[in-house]
Copies of this chain bind each other. A is one copy, B any other.
Amino acid sequence: MSQKMQQIVLASRPDGAPSQDNFRLETEAMPRPGEGEILVEVSHMSLDPYMRGRMDDAKSYAQPVPVGGKMEGGAVGRVIASNSAHFAEGDHVFGMFGWATHSTADARMCRKLDPSQAPVTTALGVLGMPGFTGWWGLNEYGRPKKGETLLVAAATGPVGSMVGQLAKAKGLRAVGVAGGADKVALAKGDFGFDACIDHRGKDAKALRAEMKEACPDGVDVYFENVGGPVLEAALSMMNPHGRIPVCGMIAWYNAGGLGADAGGEGLTAPKLWRTILVNFLSVNGFIISNHWDRYPDFLNEVAPMIADGRVKYKEDITEGLENAPQAFMDLLTGGNHGKAIVKVS
């Protein structure tokens, strides 16, 4: 066992979009697992939009990462030392190991993986937090009904592609929004969206014109994970009694003070509120970590759909822990295709 490990810490809080300066790669002594803990050699770590929120110190659903602290996140790896009866050396495991080559963790907070069932990286995406987010949000708050129209942005991402494929399987018209011709082709091809709008270079008005074309019967479920002009356009498309599950607002994550200059120029708070009122919308914010008790239901339903190809997934793997900051910055500007993962070892 190597006596050193590497990790990436938050060097400083970003002012707007993060830059390399906000991260620092550190070499530390290898930690030792305490009572009930395991030591894991990380093979792959996850990059997710929510991590941007943890870099700020604004009040949120989770504590911010402290300056100087390890960047948080889900990861998979193998157990190299165990002080827990539940794990043996060599076990494949998922846990919140962070941006690091190695990590100790409370064994009760980790989940054993069976690599013969599905590749271990699926625990970071389609069968992990993002896929579960899509499944729960769509079913619990979206309440999809056959014949309705669903709209989802970041359509080729791990949440959006899950939402679109599940909606199709339930008999809805699934319309995506994505950035660039490649992603549009991916959404309509691999993921089977009925239509997909390229948001690049378009303001809310132009997006609305394309949404009208793609959603001739309006939008019943807008699965919201981006904010910004796409939200503004989508709101204007909502049918009466429409539902909006809200699990993210990536377009606004780098927005600093979330003021009027935050990219929501045309969308004021009164206008947003009025749309909710006059269309009888149901808007529900959620974070999937409040709902892990339903994770087995998700696995039971979706794992077979992965196995037989009804639900497809795509991974975008960057090599090397040291490249995680750049891959994360790319993710925030839509540079990735599919679930963003960093191969650590």
Cβ-based interface call for A277 (8 A): yes
A269 with B264, Cβ < 8 A, contacts A240-B61, A258-B274 known:
yes
CB distance from A141 to the nearest CB of B (A): 8
State A273–B249 Cα separation when bound (angstroms).
8
Cβ-based interface call for A206 (8 A): no
Contact with B along A100-141 (1 / 0, CB 8 A): 000000000000000000000000000000000000000000
Contact B231 A273 (CB under 8 A): yes
Task: List residues of chain B with CB within 8 A of the CB of A310.
Answer: none
Contact A268 B259 (CB under 8 A): yes
Least CB separation from A225: chain B residue: B277
Mark the stretch among A77-85, A215-223, A283-291 that contacts chain B. Answer: A283-291
Contact with B along A269-281 (1 / 0, CB 8 A): 1111110111111
Contact A262 B258 (CB under 8 A): no
Contact B262 A277 (CB under 8 A): no
In which size bucket is the chain A interface?
35 or more
A280 with B286, Cβ < 8 A, contacts A258-B274, A274-B249 known:
yes
Contact B269 A272 (CB under 8 A): yes
Task: List residues of chain B with CB within 8 A of the CB of A267.
Answer: 269
Task: List residues of chain B with CB within 8 A of the CB of A270.
Answer: 227, 249, 252, 255, 258-259, 262-264
**Can you give 10 contacting A-B residue pairs, CB < 8 Å?**
A61-B240, A61-B278, A232-B269, A248-B277, A255-B270, A258-B271, A259-B271, A269-B272, A282-B282, A282-B285
A residues at B contact (CB < 8 Å): 53, 59-61, 227, 231-232, 240, 246-249, 252, 255, 258-260, 262-264, 267-274, 276-287, 290
